[in-house]
Amino acid sequence: MPKFLHTADWQMGRAFSRFETEDGAALVEARFEAIEKIARLANEHQCDAVLVAGDVFDAQTVADRTIRRVFNATGAFRGPWVMLPGNHDAALAESVWTRAQRLGAVPDNVHAALEPGVINLEPQGLAILCAPLTQRNTYSDLTEAFSTWETPERLIRVGLAHGSVQGVLSDDIDSANPISPNRAEAARLDYLALGDWHGTRQIDGRTWYSGTPEPERFRNNSAGYALIVDVPGPGALPQVTPLETGRYQWHQWRETLTVESDLDQLLERLGELPEPSVVDLRLEGAITLAGEERLTNALSVAEARFRSIQCDRSGLQLAPTDDDVAALKADGYVGEVIEHLRSHQQDDDAEAARDALAILAGLLKDRKQETSE
């Protein structure tokens, strides 16, 4: 019986401007690699089709080159692809989809579901009920029409939609496009393939979000997967298997350093992360000069090891111990400056005072080393 791959939210053309140029380019490239991996997985698992539940593109204005590269990346799987417009690439009268067609970029085996209706894949035993978005936001449930659409009894009924399952998902999902939580049952669907929630999530036995195949934000929601869906027969409960597709792991940590062991644990956790990591770190609390040196060295190592690491230390105060100050041999006027900077880390110019203290400590340490040589 039919087996297909469910994916969504590719967001091709997305820019990663918050990252360094090299890192941003690598993150963009990873999304193309994810499509290529999806095509390989569809072949390896002998899938009959690949269904993309919306947001193939991140915007209507993506470059022509991006459009061509997206469809080129699907080339390894020669079976049918059904691609649904989502809220980012809605099927407007003039859209990224109509431009792709004019470019001649859409392969013959790719079905762009630009209008509501059923795409019957007779040889594959599938009837795909499609609810494309024709504008960025709608306030009625476009999947309601599924209940009125008839399909051949011998074909598996699969719904393809993009939006928010009402009463199940959080309010911060990308779009307001509502979907009834009992749509699969009401429309007699064997499976409902959804997009818009960027993590893999099961709603019920027949309804799943696949999530984005390559993580693109700091949110712990099981992104980086595609779903292999095996339906034994009409009316039978589908067997759904998540397969990992993501290359990079995204981690966002908010840490407060109070005692030395807090820093020890933080550096240990950093050391355990795999190389293909994207890390966003914000530190608060206090750290000694010796701890600051350890942290700086560890971050330098991490910058060379990870895909990206960004660390905000503006909320982290330098708290030199008496031993720190004694080791710097900062007496007289220099010692007074250190005490002045220490006391001003609570003021409005706390970040400047912290940076100045760190620079001064570094200069004193360098001078001490030169003297001893």
Pick 322 or 373 by higher pLDDT: 322
First to last CA, the chain: 77
pLDDT for the residue numbered 293? 86
Residue 328 has pLDDT above 60, yes or no: no
Which domains does the chain show, CATH number per domain? 3-244 (3.60.21.10), 249-372 (no CATH)
Residues 84, 213: Cα–Cα separation, whole Å: 16
Per residue in 175-233, pLDDT tens?
A: 579 999 999 999 999 999 999 999 999 999 999 999 999 999 988 789 999 999 999 99
Residues 305, 308: Cα–Cα separation, whole Å: 8
Q: What is the 3-state secondary structure (H, E, C) of 324-337?
A: HHHHHCCCHHHHHH
Residue with tokens 């820019």: 15
| pTM score | 0.86
Helix %, strand %, coil % of the chain (to 5)? 35, 25, 40
**DSSP per-residue codes, 212-228:** -SS--SS--S--SEEEE
Name the band, by pLDDT with cuts 50, 70 and 90, for residue 290.
Answer: confident
> Over the chain, what is the mean pLDDT?
89
Per residue in 57-116, pLDDT tens?
A: 999 999 999 999 999 999 999 999 999 999 999 999 999 999 999 999 999 999 999 999
